A and B are shown apart, each in its own frame.
Chain A
Amino acid sequence: MNMVELHQVQHGDFVAATPTTTLSPTGLRFENIDKRYGGLFALRRVSLEIAPGECVVLAGRNGSGKTTLLRIAARIVRPTAGKVSFPVAASDSAANGRPGYVAHTTMVYDELSAEENLVLFAKLQGVPEAKARAEELLREVGLCERRSSLVRTFSRGMRQRIAIARALVHRPSVLLFDEPATGLDPLGISWLAKTLGQVNRAGCTVVMSLHGESEISALATRAVQLDAGSVVADTASGSSLRSILTFGVA
């Protein structure tokens, strides 16, 4: 693959698909979340109300509890106390209570191809016409040409794309993103910023954990800072976006 083709793949436009079902705007509510690991608190009485359609950045030092909070929202980790819920704006539309979740690893199978992985996750979640949906997603993230390649052969940037495709396969109303920019080059970060922007504009609530200011943090409508497991600052209560994003960075 020559350099020109590479760039074309990397610049693959994320085309917001015309959804067959309208995304029902869904928020995210944390009520008094505690998470204890053997006596030590990773999260302490965290309460947060995120409105449908917001794009929220969770900022904080390593170990402040961002990842734990996201994993609790993703229902992968069980809180020691408290509740997570996904309040739906319009009561008549079916809630897609399952959030999309992207973390440091791809969460797909290395020994399967990109297409096989997406079809698998589509089928598991009852997405109709799994193959067509997989094809659609591959086009959206610019991995069409590599659809039959095993994920094991993918570069870091491509792994990020397949991870996002997997998270979006069931058209979630809420997308959770744990440090999305890690390991990405500037081109990758631009692509990601554009993608997240489009997803958010299409009605998906986005919550992501970040360090510092970047093209991605510029998308934020709100920022919340965590420290030692508690919420210490929130733009919704008047703190400045910049100060939250640059908490400990010199």
Chain B
Amino acid sequence: MSLLANTATLLGKELRTEFRSRELLTTTVVFIVVVLVLFSFAINPTTEESREFGPGLLWLAILFAASLMLQPCFLREQANDTLSSLRLAVSDPFSIFLAKLIANTLFLLLTEVLMLPLFAAFYNVPVLPMLHYLLLVLFLGSLGVSVAGTALSAISAQARMRELLLPLLLLPLLTPILVVSATVSVSLLDREPVVQWKGIGFLAIFDLVFLTALWLFGEYLLEE
């Protein structure tokens, strides 16, 4: 079967599994909400400050949540050694990664979209005017987080102390996403919004670089 067909089949499996239990989604949404609330307790921002710091804090919360949400990604394939049966069944091991990273991106995006009204309320940031651009940034940023996160979760699943290891590996790697997404989001949500196309382009390049790296080296990540 072709790469795309296998990816579609596996994506169906990932989505079906998650929507049956909804464990990941609920815990991730709750986690981001808690983090955002705690941030505002710690910093106690004024309205003006909220506008300036809010998006950065949002992205930080997304990154923390993602590094937790991505843990089970390959761990759940270890329970019954389903990773081996998948590797046996698919024609291109990249389809395993592609399906997982698409699923993870969707889960992250869904969480972010659910979160957006809460974020707008807590931090007094009007998100509606620039919503379509904001969604674009959320998409590109989340894609980057997913690509890197899916790759690294395949690594951390094979090491000890994996719960602590994944954030440790992932967060420094995602610094470019954090910096650029936060900055672009801030200027989008400013009183006089500006769309930083250079930043959006940069996010796309990040995504492309790591997607290519995953395509080239993915099968080695799954090796035994």
Contacts and interface: CB of A to CB of B under 8 A. Distances in A.
Interface of A: 71, 74-78, 98, 101, 103, 105-112, 116, 120-121, 123-126, 166, 170
28 contacts: A71-B224, A75-B88, A76-B88, A76-B224, A78-B224, A101-B88, A103-B84, A106-B80, A107-B80, A107-B81, A107-B85, A108-B80, A108-B85, A110-B79, A110-B80, A111-B21, A112-B16, A116-B16, A120-B9, A123-B1, A123-B5, A124-B9, A124-B10, A124-B86, A124-B90, A125-B1, A126-B1, A166-B85
B208 to A, nearest CB: 27
B179 interface: no
Contact of B13 (A77, A105, A109, A110): A109
Contacts, number: 65
A78 B90 CA distance: 17
Given A78-B224, A107-B82, A111-B17, 18 more contacts: A71-B84, A75-B88, A76-B224, A101-B85, A107-B81, A107-B85, A108-B80, A109-B13, A110-B80, A111-B20, A111-B21, A116-B16, A123-B1, A123-B5, A124-B9, A124-B86, A124-B90, A125-B1
A179 B81 CA distance: 16
Given A71-B224, A74-B88, A166-B85, A112 B1 contact: no
A150 to B, nearest CB: 9
B162 interface: no
Interface centre among B9, B10, B86, B88 (most CB of A within 10 A): B88
Contacts of B111: none
A34 to B, nearest CB: 15
B6 interface: yes
Judged by DSSP, the binding face of B is: helix
Query: How many interface residues does chain B have, given as a range?
Result: 20 to 34
Contacts of A75: 87-88
B192 interface: no
Closest 5 CB pairs of A and B: A107-B85, A124-B89, A126-B1, A105-B80, A105-B81
Contacts of B9: 120, 123-124
Contacts of A108: 80, 82, 85
Contacts of B17: 109, 111-112
Contacts of B90: 124
Nearest to B85: A107
Nearest to A104: B81
